[in-house]
Amino acid sequence: MLAAVLIISASGLIGAVILVAASVFMRVEEDSRIEEIQGALPGANCGACGYAGCADYAKAIVENGAPVNLCIPGGAAAAKSIGAIMGVEAGEVERFKAFVTCQGSYAHTRDKYDYEGIESCNAVNAYYSGRTACRFGCLGYGDCKKVCKFDAIIVENGVSRIDRSKCTGCGACAKVCPDHIIVMLPESDKPTVMCANREKGALTRKVCDRGCIGCMKCQKNCPAGAISVKNNVAFIDESLCISCGLCVEQCPVSAIHVPPKAGQIVD
């Protein structure tokens, strides 16, 4: 019995020595800059940079030469710090904010049926494009709110809204929205069409009194030629827009707004 115990103990000791030796001789040294860069990142792991998380992005910068200015939540400050670590110029970081292109709250639309089931936009969207009368509008179950790591989204009166003072522009909400009515826009004073309804004007008016009716008044009055009406809904080319505000004034249904400032909500 004693011999068996000694043999087993000796085998375990030899195995441990071998494992320790292997860990020492086969260890791959990690570049210390990876940890430094991780420290300069906000740690949100939101994926806005195109990588799985902050650790993957830091590794890609050091090992693969990824650009140092891809972290949207970290913005210019993070890019500058990472650039200093890597000894390169940070470059510009364009700031984006999420924006819900829908005004379909229950002040302006209604439900077409009662829904009892999974509390999810994806789930309710499978039933005739949602419960609200407008099949192009916000579904109102807050899938976007659930994925927002910055508590920047609220659901009020059947429609999601973004608190722009908290939004970091990571884009997670836009990715999860099944109807793609959340868009990422540069921080600017350029107006946006807050509707995605592609029905003809008369049909749109029946389901929402703030929906774009495709009347083309904005297109005809835009001095920069930045607006076009396609599939019965207006689109604004921000690269051409001069922020004159005529489209906001001319819209008969108030479907065009300048994105609100931080803390403001469009009603």
- For residue 261, the model assigns a pLDDT of 59
The tens digit of pLDDT for each residue in 86-136 reads 999 888 777 888 999 999 999 999 998 888 889 999 999 988 888 899 999
Q: Return the residue matching tokens 């707004």.
A: 257
- For residue 1, the model assigns a pLDDT of 63
- For residue 23, the model assigns a pLDDT of 59
In a 13 Å sphere around the CA of 119, the CA atoms on its Cβ side amount to 6
The tens digit of pLDDT for each residue in 160-180 reads 999 988 998 889 999 999 999
Q: Please say whether the beta carbons of 205 and 211 come within 8 A.
A: yes
Distance CA 61, CA 67 (A): 7
Distance CA 136, CA 131 (A): 11
Distance CA 191, CA 264 (A): 15
Closest CA to 139 of 157, 159, 154, 114: 159
Distance CA 207, CA 112 (A): 9
The segments of the chain whose pLDDT lies below 50 read: 263-267
- For residue 48, the model assigns a pLDDT of 83
Domains, in order of start, for the chain: 33-86 (1.10.15.40), 96-257 (3.30.70.20)
